[in-house]
Structure 1
Amino acid sequence: MAFKLPEYHHPDFTQPMFVNAPDVKFEEAEMDGVAPEYYHSTSMYPEYFKINGKWVLAEESRMDSSVVICDDGHLAVVENRNLKKGDKVILGRSEKAEEGIYMHCNGFTAEGEDLDDQFVFRQGRSRETSYARDYDNLFELLRHEREHGNIVWVMGPAFSFDYDARAAMQALVENGYAHGLMAGNALATHDLEGALLHTALGQDIYTQKSQPNGHYNHLDVINKVRRSGSIPQFIEDYKIDNGIIYSCVKNGVPMVLTGSIRDDGPMPEVIGDAYRGQTEMRGLVRGATTVICLATMLHTIATGNMTPSFRVMPDGQIRPVYLYTVDADEFVVNKLLDRGSLSATTIVTNVQDFIAIVAKGLGVMK
């Protein structure tokens, strides 16, 4: 049976609670980067605002941001740090139409299921959970998204330490299952180390044996990339022909690499400014319809906070955004749920095994 997106059910705005609701109130920001008192902060769910008697959807939402009424009537969801003096910022802390604000949590709920709006999420899962159906669902979803959606991968460095995991991810990229990659300096560094020297942090990526003076390997690779001036130029200079980063460059998959204070180097493309990095990440997320976060807690939480549960497509269709978070640690995969940011599918497993299962399930590797 072919994969089918769930239908979105709009709120029934003929109900008295909507008809009798007041228009939203707003207040102009007094200075750049500061919201008015009693500003409304957004969630991951579709949120509607009553303006001049009409309920309007804020289309590009994300968690913990303000809503600005633009001059053309469009609603912009803006991080408070990006507010400008004079922006008309919506006010209100209730979400059931009392102040002209309505959060629609169950827009994709099938008919006959519980339709009570509740800001709640699926319970955490453990190593004992069976994920067989989750994998089957994911295979169906990814086949659909390759042709009709936008798949963004958020990856920790664990993949770069294993020969098979690197090969599996490379195969997924080369077969059209990646439209964006977000990671840190470490993934790029050790994946390119594996491509050039067959090691990651000095250990052979197949045998895991430490190489003589191997602790220099990643530093040498960073130095070479910096000498080349860019990752694509390094790939050309050193005739790199394998790996995750290589396949993204070769296939034109956009990458956002954001750094941390502990980074070596870093690579030339790594963004050291945390807030510019956040902006670049959100730019990539804006097009995403499926996001898969793998073995990177901080990147996962950051991505979850900026990923809405829905996407308004160019034809006006409203569809769900799927988010998966995968890690060997139950604490990591459930932390996003604990933050109340997004109802994600969580899988507790080694991500190197996960990516190999996905590649084989999609038929891109034997």
Structure 2
Amino acid sequence: MMFKLPEYIPPDFHTEHFAGSPDVHTEPAPKDGVVPENFYATSIFPEYFKIDGHWILIRESRMDCVVVIEDGLPHAVEFRNVKKGDAVVIGRSDNGETGVYVHQNAFNRNFQDNTDNFAFRMNNSRETAFSSDYDRLYDLLRYEKDHGYVVWVLGPAAAFDYDSRNAMSSLIKSGYVDALFAGNALATHDLEASFFHTALGQDIYSKCSCKNGHYHHIETINRARSSGSLKNLVRDYNIRDGIVQACLKKDVPMVLAGSIRDDGPLPGVYSDVYQAQDAMRAYTRRATTVICLATQLHTIATGNMTPSYQLVGGVVRPVYFYTVDISEFVVNKLKDRGSLSSESFITNIQDFVVNLERHLLGNG
């Protein structure tokens, strides 16, 4: 079955309720990084702002931002990026009465109308059957390859297994990855696998620990720092496999955000969290599908800056957001943080990646 995006049904702004709404009210920011009292904060949903008598959908939105009106258009701006004098929207109402309207349930999804009010297993768990979820994801990714922008968020577990590492590399080379977010660990252990066939000193196929294997990731980092960049490292050592090599070969941007526990780190890893956030934001602005594998904090960070919709070619479409982890707690954590549109697979992420690659590329 060919994938088809759900229809977006915009609000009817000709009704009396909306026609009588005032324009949004703004107040100037008193100083850089500080906004007026009673500021309005954005959600993940499509939001309209009445400006000069016209309802305008905010583009490139993200949760927990303020809205700045500039040149007659609304812009979602992080608090830290607000400049003194910016026209910041104020008011906490979002039903249209103050010139702000949040449009929830905007997509015409075909829900089942014949289900009982009470039913078992309505939420995902370890016991959930994911067969139909996989089939929908296969169709979605085939569509997105030509029409969308897919961001992957990877934990190091993606590189710990021989088959999943190869599968992820194949997906990158085949055009199913448009940008990749990770930490220092994912790139380090992927490159360690290229040099030593290990991750944290353990063979990525047999799982046997190697003598002095605990040196391998540090040796990898040292070589990378000596080369000066990951691109130079791949060239200097003629690396021909792995996730990092595939991204560099396909010009897939990687945002590697550092943490307090990192060794090294590798060259190119962001040590400033706000620089990392800005770098990630450049790609979540374009994302139409996001897939997060076994990395709780990076998943939450990405989810909190990804809206539930995207405007592509003048058409409003949903942004699909998937979390994949063996832990029910991890996949549910993002919903607790406000990203209600996320869908989850509770499974071993290595098996998940191999499944995708085999079905999408016919290698099964």
Q: TM-score range by the shorter chain?
A: over 0.9
What's the secondary structure of 2:267's corresponding residue? coil
Asked whether 1:358 is paired with 2:324, we answer: no
Residues 278-297 of structure 1: pairs in structure 2 closer than 5 A: 278-297=277-296
2:304–2:337: 8 Å Cα contact kept in structure 1?
Answer: no
Partner of 1:342: 340
1:125–1:334: 8 Å Cα contact kept in structure 2?
Answer: no
1:6–1:108: 8 Å Cα contact kept in structure 2?
Answer: yes
Change (3 A) 1:254 1:123: farther
Provide the rounded CA distance (Å) in 2 between the counterparts of 1:164 and 1:323: 24
Provide the rounded CA distance (Å) in 2 between the counterparts of 1:364 and 1:156: 25
Residues 190-269 of structure 1: pairs in structure 2 closer than 5 A: 190-269=189-268
Provide the rounded CA distance (Å) in 1 between the counterparts of 2:355 and 2:63: 32
Residue-pair matches, total: 357
Change (3 A) 1:81 1:165: same
Following superposition, the deviation at residue 109 of structure 1 comes to 2.6
TM-score by length of 2: 0.96
What's the secondary structure of 1:362's corresponding residue? helix
Residues 87-98 of structure 1: pairs in structure 2 closer than 5 A: 87-98=86-97
1:172–1:364: 8 Å Cα contact kept in structure 2?
Answer: no
Provide the rounded CA distance (Å) in 2 between the counterparts of 1:58 and 1:240: 44
What's the secondary structure of 1:178's corresponding residue? coil
Provide the rounded CA distance (Å) in 2 between the counterparts of 1:333 and 1:309: 17
> Structure 1 vs Structure 2: percent identity of aligned residues?
57
Unmatched 5+ stretches in structure 1? 115-121
Provide the rounded CA distance (Å) in 2 between the counterparts of 1:109 and 1:93: 27
Question: Letter of the aligned partner of 1:73 in structure 2?
Answer: G
Following superposition, the deviation at residue 124 of structure 1 comes to 4.4
Provide the rounded CA distance (Å) in 2 between the counterparts of 1:98 and 1:12: 15
Provide the rounded CA distance (Å) in 2 between the counterparts of 1:269 and 1:135: 34
Partner of 1:119: none
Following superposition, the deviation at residue 53 of structure 1 comes to 1.4
What's the secondary structure of 2:30's corresponding residue? coil
Asked whether 1:166 is paired with 2:165, we answer: yes
Change (3 A) 1:273 1:364: farther
Provide the rounded CA distance (Å) in 2 between the counterparts of 1:184 and 1:296: 9
CA deviations on 1:147-170 (whole Å, 9 max, x unpaired) are 111111000000111000100001
CA deviations on 1:121-148 (whole Å, 9 max, x unpaired) are x974210111101000000000000011
1:171–1:365: 8 Å Cα contact kept in structure 2?
Answer: no
Following superposition, the deviation at residue 341 of structure 1 comes to 2.2
Following superposition, the deviation at residue 357 of structure 1 comes to 0.6
Stretches (4+) displaced over 6 A: 111-114
1:29–1:88: 8 Å Cα contact kept in structure 2?
Answer: yes
CA deviations on 1:305-333 (whole Å, 9 max, x unpaired) are 000111111x2111111000000000000
Provide the rounded CA distance (Å) in 2 between the counterparts of 1:124 and 1:19: 40
Unmatched 5+ stretches in structure 2? 114-120
Following superposition, the deviation at residue 37 of structure 1 comes to 0.5
Partner of 1:331: 329
Question: Letter of the aligned partner of 1:244 in structure 2?
Answer: I
TM-score by length of 1: 0.95
Following superposition, the deviation at residue 361 of structure 1 comes to 1.4
2:198–2:204: 8 Å Cα contact kept in structure 1?
Answer: yes
Provide the rounded CA distance (Å) in 1 between the counterparts of 2:99 and 2:110: 26
Residues 1-366 of structure 1: pairs in structure 2 closer than 5 A: 1-70=1-70, 72-110=71-109, 124-313=123-312, 315-366=313-364
2:66–2:76: 8 Å Cα contact kept in structure 1?
Answer: yes
Provide the rounded CA distance (Å) in 2 between the counterparts of 1:104 and 1:111: 18
What's the secondary structure of 2:153's corresponding residue? strand
Provide the rounded CA distance (Å) in 2 between the counterparts of 1:363 and 1:50: 47
Following superposition, the deviation at residue 189 of structure 1 comes to 0.2
Deviates more, 1:339-348 or 1:212-221: 339-348
Change (3 A) 1:123 1:303: farther
1:6–1:319: 8 Å Cα contact kept in structure 2?
Answer: yes
Following superposition, the deviation at residue 364 of structure 1 comes to 4.8
Change (3 A) 1:9 1:111: farther
What's the secondary structure of 2:193's corresponding residue? helix
Deviates more, 1:37-46 or 1:11-20: 11-20
Provide the rounded CA distance (Å) in 2 between the counterparts of 1:318 and 1:294: 27
Provide the rounded CA distance (Å) in 2 between the counterparts of 1:273 and 1:46: 30
Following superposition, the deviation at residue 340 of structure 1 comes to 2.0
Change (3 A) 1:123 1:180: farther
